[in-house]
Every structure is written in C-alpha cells, then in structure tokens.
Amino acid sequence: MASEPSLSAPKGTRDLLPPESWAWQKVIRLGMDMFADAGYAPMDTPLFEHTEVFERGVGEATEVVGKQMYTFIDRGDRSLTLRPEGTAPVMRSVLEHSLHRGALPVKLAYAGPMFRQERPQKGRYRQFWQIGIEAIGSESPLADAEVIELAMRFYEAIGLEVKLLLNSIGHPGEDCRLGYGKVLAAYLTEHEAELAGVDRARIASNPLRTFDSKEEPTVAVMAGAPLITDHICDGCKAHHAQVTSALDGLGVEFEAAPKLVRGLDYYMRTAFEFVAGGLGSQNAAGGGGRYDGLAELLGGPRIPGIGFALGLDRIMLSLSEQDQSQQTGEMAAYVVALDEKHAGPALEMATRLRRAGLATDLDLMTRGLKGQMKAAARSGARYTVILGAEEAGPGSFLVKDMTSGEQEVVDGPDLEGRLTR
C-alpha cells in the first residue's frame, strides 16, 4: 500500500525561504555584477552531465567522484550524474562550442546548485549553491591574481571576513608533484603503523590526500611530513612567486598554506581556499585553483585555466552569524484602498507604479483599512499611497511617508516623481 508522501525535503536538502532568500538573491546579483565588471560573462550548464565528464575531469580517485556523486541511468540507458561541481562542465562546454578558438581568455561566471551525497551537517548539504568564475586560456600568473582578488573583493563587498590560504601544488611531472608524491609515500610508509586505519590505503592511491585527514593519529604524522613547496619544479616555483608578488601589488593578503592540497584531481600549480569564521569544521567558504590539464583529461587540446567557486550556503550561514539583521525586498510603495470600491483602482495604481519601475505591493486579501495599513508597514515600503481618502480630491492621492509618518496630497501626474524623491 502506498504510504503518505513525506512533506520534508530530502535529507541534506532544504528550502530557501524569505527572508533569507532575499539576502541570497542580493548576494548572487552583487557577485555576478562584480564579475561582469571584470569581463566575466554569465553562463549556465545543465544540472546533469554524462558521468564521464566528472570521472575524467575531477578524477575517479577523488572522494567527490568515488563516494559522493548522484549517478543514475536514464531511460535511454545513459549514465548521467547531477553535477557535483561546475568547473568540469564549464570546460566541457568550452570544448563543445569551441570557445577556446575565439578571443582568449574565455571568462565565464555562474551561480547554481551542485550535488554531493555527503554526510549532512552544519554548512554541509547534499544540494548546495556555488557562485564561481573561470578564466580559460591564460597561463599567466596575472590571471591567478585577477581571479583571487575578485573573490576577496566579493567577500569584502558582502561584509564577510575571510582568510585566504594559498599554495602551489606543482604540476604532474616526475620532477615536480609526482616526484613529491613518492617522497611523501615513502615518509607515510615509514610511519604506516602510526596512521589511522582509513588513511593507510591512501599511501598507494592518493598520498597527498592524507593532508586532509581529520583523524588525530594521521594529523600528528602529517605535522612532520615533507612539504610540496620544497619539491616543486623551477617553472612552478617561478609561477608561484609571480602570483604572490602580483597579489602583494594588489594589496591582497594571504597566508602560505603548504599543506593545502584540494580535493579535485584537475588542479595544478595555484591552489587556494577562503576560510570563514562561525562555520565549525566546514569553514571553507570557497576555493579554487589552476587546472591547466583539465581540457586534455576531457579529450580536448591543452587549454590552461583558473577559477574559483564560493559556497553560498556557507557564506550566508557565516554572514547570519555575523549579522542577525533581517533582510527584506525593497518596496517603494504600498497601495491602500480606503474602501472596497477602491480595490480595483488600487490594483490599477499598483500596476501603473510597477510599469514606471517602482517596486509596489498591495493587499490581495480584502483587508479593511487598518489591516492594509499594517500590511503596508510590514512590507517595508517607503510610501503608502491611499486611494479614496476624502482629503484628496478627484485625480489626486494621499501619500504617507512611512519613515516620518507625514501625509500629503499629491496630484495624479506628480505621483511617480514624488515617490522617487
């Protein structure tokens, strides 16, 4: 027998409701506008992709691909996956549409939901939002600096204090990260008995990931581990030095984080994370890095790229810990009908004001005058326009300034002008 449908959203997902949704939308708009002002055009990719986009792009050995993907077979027997992140899809899209054959770099920005089947906790969800940018086609360390500065300016604009952690993880060459991987694996083998059980398997598969372990015994071993920064090649070292000097030139402060390795396989050279307060263990409010090998992993030519994605859920959570003030949409006017006869004209007036570009609301619950005035106050509107008031003659209206409480009669044709003052 079919049971009652559950009314709760699936585990790890949630509804985004007012008033939070207002603040949320404002933050996205601010970000997309700020990124556009630096040349990043808005774009969207599908919420699902062929599974291999992530298997090849993000890497099968990663936690994201190995353990967290929502993968399903559709009715056409295709393996599809809800996107766990946005960078591989953006690169897939660049390759599909040959955007890399046009003017470079291709600068793109996006905001939307991502999906990972992680264990839900504060700041960690199964559907979460990211806002991000990707600069594709430039190998210049100046692109790294531009991208990082934009993220920092975005956080500053929304009033969230973050710390920038910066590292270089080299490139996958024997004289660089691969060589380092062997040095690290040797160190880990030496200390194998001291490592937490779950981390022992990583020595062979992905030794760098042991830096992300939260297991006490492993953390203790990693404190003495050789660092990647001492083992990267001269080319990667020079790139990193140019990134840090460009950031210095822009006045962007950072903390060197030689143990920051990031969880996605496509990264090389620059890797960074933004850490915020009030989030407990899920304190990464965003992250990114350079992915010069990603296009090749997806079957395309070599196309360098760098970008970031910022976690909106964590940003909003951290902001709300900082600032409890309620956010609402901004209303310019609320139209009130003195009696039932003026209800129709009230809708016409609200429509007239909306057409003039003024955010306007009105009562649709057939409330009495008192109820409407209460609703007007609740709406946060700057002015209330009252229809049918005796003191206003035909063709004019009573306007109440909701901040000062003052009322005045305004001639019909002057109304829009008065409300924008």
- Please identify which residue in 170, 181, 207, 311 interacts with ligand HAM, judged by CB under 6 A: 311
Q: How many CB atoms lie within 10 A of CB 113?
A: 15
Half-sphere exposure of 56 (CA within 13 A, CB side): 16
Closest residue by Cα to residue 99 from 134, 53, 69: 134
Site for ligand HAM contains 89 (CB under 6 A): no
Site for ligand HAM contains 146 (CB under 6 A): no
Site for ligand HAM contains 109 (CB under 6 A): no
Site for ligand HAM contains 309 (CB under 6 A): yes
Site for ligand HAM contains 308 (CB under 6 A): yes
Min separation Cβ 138 and ligand HAM, Å = 14
Closest CB to ligand HAM among residues 144, 363: 144
DSSP 50-93: EHHHHIIIIITTSHHHHHS--EEE-TTS-EEEE-S-SHHHHHHH
Stretch that binds ligand HAM, among 214-222, 306-314, 324-332, 401-409 (CB under 6 A): 306-314
Cβ–Cβ under 8 Å, residues 222 and 276: no
Residue whose CB is nearest to ligand HAM in the complex, by number? 311
Distance between CA atoms of residues 89 and 43, nearest Å: 11
Cβ–Cβ under 8 Å, residues 166 and 256: yes
Cβ–Cβ under 8 Å, residues 57 and 123: no
- Please identify which residue in 83, 314, 342, 382 interacts with ligand HAM, judged by CB under 6 A: 314
Q: Which DSSP letter does residue 281 get?
A: T
- Please identify which residue in 89, 141, 207, 286 interacts with ligand HAM, judged by CB under 6 A: 286
Helix (H, G, I), strand (E, B) or coil at 369: helix
- Single-letter residue type at 375: A
Site for ligand HAM contains 105 (CB under 6 A): no
- How many residues at the interface with ligand HAM, by CB under 6 A? 27
Closest CB to ligand HAM among residues 282, 372: 282
Site for ligand HAM contains 239 (CB under 6 A): no
Q: Which DSSP letter does residue 124 get?
A: B
Closest CB to ligand HAM among residues 174, 296: 296
Site for ligand HAM contains 85 (CB under 6 A): yes
Distance between CA atoms of residues 83 and 69, nearest Å: 8
Per-residue x/- track, 260-279, ligand HAM (CB under 6 A): ---xx---------------
The token duo for 261 is: 């390795």
Residues in touch with ligand HAM (CB under 6 A): 85-87, 116, 118, 123-125, 128, 130, 132, 134, 263-264, 284-289, 291, 307-309, 311, 313-314
